[in-house]
Amino acid sequence: MNKKLFIANWKMNKGLVQSQQFAEELKAHFEKHKGTTDEIVLCPPFTSLEAVHRKLNGTGVKLGAQNVYYESSGAYTGEISCGMLKSCGCEYVITGHSERRRYFNETNAIVNKKVLIALDEGLKPILCIGETLQEHDDKITEAVIDEQLTSCLLHVNIEDIPNVVIAYEPVWAIGTGKNATAHQAESVHNFTRKKLKKLYSEEISLNTRIIYGGSITPENAKELFAPQTINGGLVGGASLEVESFIEIINSAH
């Protein structure tokens, strides 16, 4: 797995104009540098999805959403379905981000429903897992990861699991400027692979894409992406500028 996956999570940032500007700049960069060998996914806010999709046409850069609802349609005011995301050009969707868990009370059971409907309706879920600072200090990271994987992947069958990306995002590292060390991330990634082997098979455990997220910057990217088991990154703050996002991608090789 030499090809890495880099996902830009813009969170609640950038209106339509700024989103389009970013996509244009990124396109210009890739045209100048003859593309990239990695897989790149942008996750703008819902309101910019379609416009960014149009701007990215022909670049190979893919589109993802930051959230989705677990029903296909109906009276759910304010929610967005998988079908709607696909109609805007989405291929991926982030599920279970720690900010959704923390501010919107998303439980593992809710995340599981989102993962299942995404797979059912042809979107690739990016399943976020990770321990809080308290859990980290209490040294129960592996128990937390174990429970999150068991619950969030409930009823996800072996045929569908290749379409799931797992993002290990220690909650204490998100937006704090305090990244995990490559060694810490590597150890949780290895634990996750062991768990996938138990849940599925050795092949699945080796081939599932597991990426790291949490305060990735151009400065720490080289170290963070050195371990073979880390297949890419979910980048928040540093993905808001084309230059720093590109620097992160470039320093991973």
Which residues form the interface with ligand PGA (CB under 6 A)? 9, 169, 174-175, 213-216, 234-238
Helix, strand, or coil (residue 199): helix
Query: Is 147 a catalytic site residue?
Result: no
Nearer to ligand PGA, 102 or 194 (CB): 102
CB 168 within 8 A of CB 210: yes
Q: State whether the Cα torsion 43-163-209-127 is positive or negative.
A: positive
Nearer to ligand PGA, 11 or 197 (CB): 11
**What does the DSSP assignment read for 130-193?**
---HHHHHTT-HHHHHHHHHHHHTTT--TTTGGG-EEEE--GGGTTTS-PPPHHHHHHHHHHHH
Nearer to ligand PGA, 94 or 156 (CB): 94
CB 152 within 8 A of CB 115: yes
- The CB-of-71 to ligand PGA minimum distance in angstroms stands at 25
Residue 42 in tokens = 């942008």
Query: Is 169 a catalytic site residue?
Result: yes
Closest CB to ligand PGA: residue number: 236
- The CB-of-239 to ligand PGA minimum distance in angstroms stands at 7
Single out the catalytic residue among 99, 131, 135, 169. 169
- The CB-of-127 to ligand PGA minimum distance in angstroms stands at 12
- The CB-of-174 to ligand PGA minimum distance in angstroms stands at 4
Cα–Cα distance list, 163 to 138, 209, 222 (Å): 33, 9, 26
Single out the catalytic residue among 97, 99, 106, 136. 97
Catalytic (active-site) positions:
97, 169
